[in-house]
Amino acid sequence: MGIVSIARRIALMAGLVASAACAGSAAEAADKYKIYLSMSFIGNDWQAEAANMVKAMAAHKSMADKVDLQVQVAGPNAQRQIQQINAMVQAGAKAIVIFPISPTALNQVVKNACDKGVKVFAYDAEITEPCAYNIHIDQEEAGRVTAEWLVKKLDGKGNIVILTGVPGTSVDDQRTKAAKAVFAKYPNIKIVGEAVGMWSQAVARTELSKILATRSWDDVDGLWLQVGCFTANAMQLEAGKKPNELKPCAGEGANGGRIQMLPESTKVEGASPPYAPLGAPRISYASPPYSGALALKLAVQALEGKDVPKLTILPLPVVTSETVKLCEEGTWEEMKAGCNAFNPALVSNPGWFASIFSEQTPEIGLNAALVGQPEN
């Protein structure tokens, strides 16, 4: 047999093997539920972390043989998200796990998906179409509790600065409305600066810099920031303020802010200012970033015929300067015991959100939030 003939036989055999492998992969994928993660705005730490946790849940040994997860990002554009959802349904989606850019704009496309048998699970932000499943904290409670803390800290009087979130989302609307309703009850609380913060530490710095261009930190008595307390504390240090002069801040559950809440004397591995214990006066809350992963888990349960509630309200994680507790190693057991802030040596990004623990999601932990890897 000539060299050319041998080469042809080898090529043919390789092609058959490749075809068999592809057929096997296709058959394996066909046996799984095709589930899409539909993300809207992604320009912040929370969204990246939530996506990591969804991917980790899909990769867990209890899910890997059931779920074919695909991810699409629409950006802060409702029409684009609508188009992508339509395409997901046409592509054979069995379920869609979604962070909706609007509570109402997606209702018709979601109803169309439901009518075709697709399960739609919204996490953190809300969809008002009755066929959708919703998993989130009580956003109004988050706005109210944090505003009440700030008012109490200021004895009912003072100048405050507000940074809101991503406009149009139910999360931002409900938190902001509830907080302002509290502030309105106190005529001596004055909102002297307000801006859209987009749930981003970088945007918070930009917007706070604009507000402080016409006033000094001495003109501000407190802050209500959906995201940005870590940055606000850093900016005050840069302006020459001492740790004991930091303004009380009601805001997000970013790890940097929680480390700043620890007493100055706390020994923390890997800490350096401003990502260091400062004894900062704070209340820290969060929409827990595990909500998307829980939505995926519940979506699979619904596809398996199990009874899943249309509304799942998650506990509101609230940490104050009195209840902050350092996680030395970040193990599941340590989090279950109540730690709520992580060593900077473990978590290098101060904007990373620390409220990752839920007894409902033992499949995911610190590595899930950091790099998308599930627990064993």
The whole-number average pLDDT for the span 38-43 is 85
Domains 32-137+288-314 and 139-285 equal at CATH topology level? yes
Sorted by sequence, the CB contacts under 8 Å of residue 21 that are 6+ apart come out as none
Q: Give yes or no for a contact between 329 and 341, defined as CB atoms under 8 angstroms apart.
A: no
Q: Give the pLDDT of residue 29.
A: 57
- In terms of average pLDDT, the best of 8-17, 23-32, 334-343 is 334-343
Q: Give the pLDDT of residue 224.
A: 98
Q: What digits encode the pLDDT tens for the residues 61-112?
A: 999 999 999 999 998 899 999 999 999 999 999 999 999 999 999 999 999 9
Q: Give yes or no for a contact between 312 and 294, defined as CB atoms under 8 angstroms apart.
A: yes
The whole-number average pLDDT for the span 134-152 is 98
Residue whose pair of structure tokens reads 């193990």 in the numeric block: 331
Neighbouring CB atoms inside 10 A of 141's CB total 16
Residue 44 has pLDDT above 90, yes or no: no
Helix, strand, or coil (residue 8) = helix
Residues 297, 361: Cα–Cα separation, whole Å: 8
Residue 289 has pLDDT above 70, yes or no: yes
The whole-model pTM stands at 0.89
pLDDT band at 40 (very low <50, low <70, confident <90, very high): confident
Helix, strand, or coil (residue 122) = strand
Query: Looking at 6-15, 238-247, 354-363, which range is the least confident one?
Result: 6-15
Residue 3 has pLDDT above 60, yes or no: no
The whole-number average pLDDT for the span 25-53 is 84
Q: Give the pLDDT of residue 351.
A: 95
Query: CA nearest 212: which of 188, 226, 228, 189?
Result: 228
Residue 147 has pLDDT above 50, yes or no: yes
Q: Give the pLDDT of residue 10.
A: 41
Determine what percent of the chain is predicted with pLDDT higher than 90. Answer: 89
Residues 242, 265: Cα–Cα separation, whole Å: 15
Q: Give the pLDDT of residue 112.
A: 98
The domain made up of 32-137+288-314 has a fold known as: Rossmann fold (3.40.50)
The domain ranges of the chain are: 32-137+288-314, 139-285
Residues 249, 271: Cα–Cα separation, whole Å: 21
Q: What digits encode the pLDDT tens for the residues 190-229?
A: 999 999 999 999 999 999 999 999 999 999 999 999 999 9
Residue 13 has pLDDT above 80, yes or no: no
Q: What digits encode the pLDDT tens for the residues 93-105?
A: 999 999 999 999 9
pLDDT band at 41 (very low <50, low <70, confident <90, very high): confident
- Local structure of residue 315 (DSSP, 8 states): P
Q: What is the CATH number of domain 139-285?
A: 3.40.50.2300
Q: Give yes or no for a contact between 85 and 115, defined as CB atoms under 8 angstroms apart.
A: no
